[in-house]
Amino acid sequence: MKRQHGGFAMGLIVGLLIGLALALAVALYVTKVPVPFVNKVPQRTAEQDAAETEKNKNWDPNAPLANKPGQRAAGAPASAPAAAVPATPAPVVAAPKASGPGGARDPAAILSAREATTVKPTPAADPFAYFVQAGAFAKPDDAEQQRARLAMMGYEAKVSEREQSGRTVYRVRIGPFPRKDDADGAKDKLASVGVESALVRVQK
């Protein structure tokens, strides 16, 4: 048993020594063999380093941007800020106030407000004046008799002269009436008592 134990210990020591020797040999081999892509790069000299330092001393990384639009050159004064334009406030429209309990508006107030805001169209003024002509006579006496007859009926008539076809005509007219309806009413009353008449429209 003692021999077997001593032989095992001896073999273990010998194996360790052999392993260390192999590891040492591999390390020496690796240090002597040149590493690919590393030793092929030429080494920089001190003169080259000094020239590179002098070249980069005055290098400005912003130089390519100096001539581009929208960029400010170094040392140029900043432009003055634009004057702020005051914003015009929007007009405030007041909401209609609710009256009464619960915010309900009075129906009568609503109707009166609508009537106040409703613009009623004004009728266009009539550019004409209207007469009722109760006859045209060749003699002034006949025209005066017709005027007197109309006066007895309650109508104030006037006699006017006019040249027509080379002759003087005496016209008996009632009016003027501002509206056509009034003139039509007078014409109908004359017709009801047997007086022939005609409606005449004259520019104002």
Averaged pLDDT score across all residues of the chain: 74
When mean pLDDT is compared across 24-33, 56-65, 140-149, 173-182, the lowest value belongs to 56-65
Mean pLDDT value across residues 150-169: 90
Cβ atoms 178, 202 nearer than 8 A? no
Q: Parse the chain into domains and list their residue ranges.
A: 128-203
- Whether the model clears a pTM of 0.75, i.e. scores above it, the answer is no
Q: What pairs with residue 146 in β-bridges?
A: none
In this structure, are residues 111 and 184 in contact, taking their beta carbons and an 8 Å threshold? Answer: no
Which position has the higher pLDDT, 50 or 124? 50
Check residue 75 and give left, alpha or beta (phi > 0: left; psi -120 to 50: alpha): left
Q: Which fold has domain 128-203?
A: Alpha-Beta Plaits (3.30.70)
Q: Strand, helix or coil at 35?
A: coil
**Confidence bin at 49 (pLDDT 50/70/90):** confident
In the predicted model, is pLDDT for residue 24 greater than 70? yes
